Amino acid sequence: MPVRIASAEWRGNLPQGRGSLQTETGSVKGSYSFASRFEEGAGTNPEELIAAAHAGCFSMALANALAKAGFEAESVRTTAKVYLEKGEAGFGITRIHLECRARVPRIEASAFLEHARAAKEGCPVSRALAATPIELDAALET
């Protein structure tokens, strides 16, 4: 299996410094700062990238699980919210909320939810983030 690579560089101190990051393919490239991470400043941040990775991984895992069960998903759209909060030990990712809406012909809602819960537990990014509580809100669209 391939190894995926990304790099980042930070220059300066934490409050005034600036950083840049890039994936090996160049598909993701951007700047980040204290303001983009802990406030509402321009640029990206590590938590946004974790959210993108988790949403993508979960969507693929759910589509695969549905296909293995004989259901072809027309679409699986997932939004991941990664919560960065300050606690007694400093800042930490305290929880992740996955919201999924899918179009899957001929599947019962209960069967869909069963596959969604399994995908949440089994996708590689969920497993990597297992120390963080992961919430799931999954529903079918008509």
Closest CA to 64 of 54, 56, 55, 73: 73
Token code pair at residue 65: 């699980």
Residue 37 scores a pLDDT above 90: yes
Closest CA to 8 of 32, 27, 38, 39: 32
pLDDT in tens, 89-141: 999 999 999 999 999 999 999 999 999 999 999 999 999 999 999 999 999 99
Closest CA to 43 of 17, 80, 12, 6: 17
| Confidence tier at 142 by pLDDT (50, 70, 90) | confident
Average pLDDT in the 19-42 region?
96
Residue 1 scores a pLDDT above 90: no
Residue 41 scores a pLDDT above 90: yes
Which pLDDT score is estimated for 69?
98
Q: What's the whole-model pTM score?
A: 0.95
Token code pair at residue 90: 């400093």
Residue pointed to by tokens 């963080």: 132
pLDDT in tens, 64-93: 999 999 999 999 999 999 999 999 999 999
CA angle 99, 100, 101 (to 5 degrees): 130
Q: Please give the backbone phi and psi of residue 73, each rounded to the nearest 5 degrees, phi first.
A: -75, 130
- Domains identified in the chain and CATH numbers: 6-38 (no CATH), 46-140 (3.30.300.20)
